[in-house]
């Protein structure tokens, strides 16, 4: 950050609406890295951020020669490292304007960086709420997790962790995004270990609930022919993501319909039996949800070798 005009020979873009000094009362110009000028006022900047407050105080105590700023009406200009898109989003949170529309993870990530860098409390609260939105959590869980972990957003980290378990965490390309490069191989390996442990414990819940199934009124078996099919489908769903979201009543019915369509099935009351035993599903899901999302991390059994393998894989990608 420097109190200078844009580099010689570089023509700035037109200022964005709301920061174009239409009223002629601007006190300062902020230039983005791509040379968008933002005509701003000292008071909202100083009130929103101790970093901006200190910067402006230093500027007031050490004024620049006004003749170097004739092109800008004698206003002091400050060159910032953020792009125009990011800087405009940040200023829209600082000023009494509608909050900016953030529709990409890239803009959300850069806005988070800027909010923390300049310690803008309102912007930090805003990005934390956005990071918790499903449109970002579901599509970019590991990137959100990396952002949250970097800035100690514990609530966001916990929410993103659960979504990360739906990823194939062994893929080295997951570390190729700008945000995930802040994650070490150790961080990724922890996620892999935690997912494996939770998956194992979730699958272990399934046979225990077979004992709670009411016996079929025709064949007098617990689960008729539908239970083995449901067990296999539920197991595969938990291996993909060890949460209860993938375990549904529709999965139970599909297992029953497949069983009734099988010529080798001895009982034709599978669908009816599923309906009679639908009470086990909420209890099964609650049992899976009650499992921990994080576990103790092993510090032995060749851990250093496993970490090294992940580092080598990531470096080759």
- What per-residue confidence (pLDDT) applies to 72? 60
Please provide the average confidence, as pLDDT, over all residues in the chain.
83
From 71, 94, 117, give the residue that closes a domain. Answer: 94
Question: In this structure, is residue 119 part of a structural domain?
Answer: no
pLDDT at 84: 96
Between 3 and 228, the higher pLDDT residue: 228
| pLDDT at residue 90 in the model | 98
- Whose CA is closest to 310, among 155, 193, 228, 202? 193
pLDDT digits (tens, 9 = 90+) for 71-109: 566 788 899 999 999 999 999 999 999 999 999 999 999
Q: What is the pLDDT of residue 186?
A: 81
Instruction: Please write the tens of the pLDDT for every residue from 164-191.
Output: 999 988 787 888 899 988 887 788 888 9
Residue that finishes a domain, picked among 94, 114, 130: 94
Is 35 domain-assigned?
Answer: yes
CA-angle at 210, arms to 209 and 213, nearest 5°: 100
In a domain? residue 117? no
Comparing 225 with 314, which gets the higher pLDDT?
Answer: 225
Residue 255 located in a structural domain: yes
What share of the chain in percent tops pLDDT 90? 51
pLDDT recorded at residue 210: 80
For residue 285, is it within any domain?
yes
Asked whether the predicted pLDDT for residue 51 surpasses 90, the reply is yes
**What is the pLDDT averaged over residues 147-162?**
95
Query: Which pLDDT value is given to residue 265?
Result: 61
pLDDT band of residue 3 (cuts 50, 70, 90) is very low
Residue 222 phi/psi, 5-degree rounding, is -85, 100
- Taking only the tens place, the pLDDT of each residue in 243-260 is 998 899 888 888 888 776
Q: How many CB atoms lie within 10 A of CB 287?
A: 17
Q: Which domain holds residue 314?
A: 203-317
Higher pLDDT, 116 or 274: 116
pLDDT value of position 264: 61
pLDDT confidence bin for 62, thresholds 50/70/90: very low
Query: Which of 94, 116, 143 represents a domain boundary (last residue)?
Result: 94
pLDDT of residue 309: 59
pLDDT score for 261:
66
Per-residue pLDDT band at 12 (split at 50, 70, 90): low
Total count of domains within the chain: 2
- Percent pLDDT > 70 in the chain is 81
Contacts (Cβ under 8 Å, ≥6 apart) of 204: none
Nearest-angstrom CA–CA distance, 165 and 228 = 25
- Assess if residue 184 is contained within a domain: no
Q: Establish if 47 belongs to a structural domain.
A: yes
Instruction: Tell whether 231 is covered by a domain.
Output: yes
Rounded Cα gap, residues 201 and 95, in angstroms = 50
Structure confidence by residue, pLDDT tens digits, 255-295: 888 776 665 666 677 788 788 888 889 999 999 999 999 88
Q: Where are the beta strands (DSSP E) in the chain?
A: 28-31, 37-40, 76-79
């Amino acid at each position: 950050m420097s109190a200078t005009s844009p580099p010689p020979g570089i023509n700035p873009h037109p200022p964005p609406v709301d920061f174009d000094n239409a009223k002629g009362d601007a006190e300062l110009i902020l230039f983005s890295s791509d040379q968008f000028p933002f005509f701003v006022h000292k008071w909202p900047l100083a009130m929103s951020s101790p970093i901006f407050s200190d910067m402006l105080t230093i500027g007031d105590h050490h004024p620049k020669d006004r003749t170097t700023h004739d092109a800008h009406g004698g206003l002091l200009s400050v060159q910032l490292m953020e792009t125009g898109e990011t800087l405009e989003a940040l200023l829209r949170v600082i000023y009494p304007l509608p909050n900016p529309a953030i529709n990409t993870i890239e803009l959300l990530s850069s806005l988070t960086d800027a909010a923390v860098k300049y310690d803008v409390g309102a912007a930090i609260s805003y990005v934390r709420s956005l990071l918790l939105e499903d449109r970002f959590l579901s599509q970019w869980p590991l990137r959100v997790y990396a952002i949250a972990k970097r800035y100690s957003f514990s609530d966001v980290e916990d929410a993103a962790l659960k979504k990360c378990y739906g990823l194939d965490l062994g893929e080295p390309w997951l570390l190729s995004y700008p945000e995930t490069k802040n994650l070490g191989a150790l961080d990724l390996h922890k996620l892999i270990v935690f997912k494996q442990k939770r998956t194992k414990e979730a699958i272990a819940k399934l046979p225990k609930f077979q004992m709670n199934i009411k016996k079929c009124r025709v064949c007098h078996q617990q689960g008729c022919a539908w239970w083995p099919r449901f067990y296999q489908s539920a197991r595969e769903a938990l291996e993909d993501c060890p949460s209860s979201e993938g375990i549904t009543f529709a999965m139970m019915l599909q297992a029953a319909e497949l069983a009734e369509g099988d010529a080798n099935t001895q009982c034709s009351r599978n669908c009816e039996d599923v309906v009679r035993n639908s009470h086990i599903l909420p209890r099964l899901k609650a049992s899976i949800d009650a499992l921990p999302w994080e576990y103790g991390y092993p510090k032995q059994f060749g851990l250093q070798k496993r970490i090294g393998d992940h580092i080598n894989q990531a470096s080759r990608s």
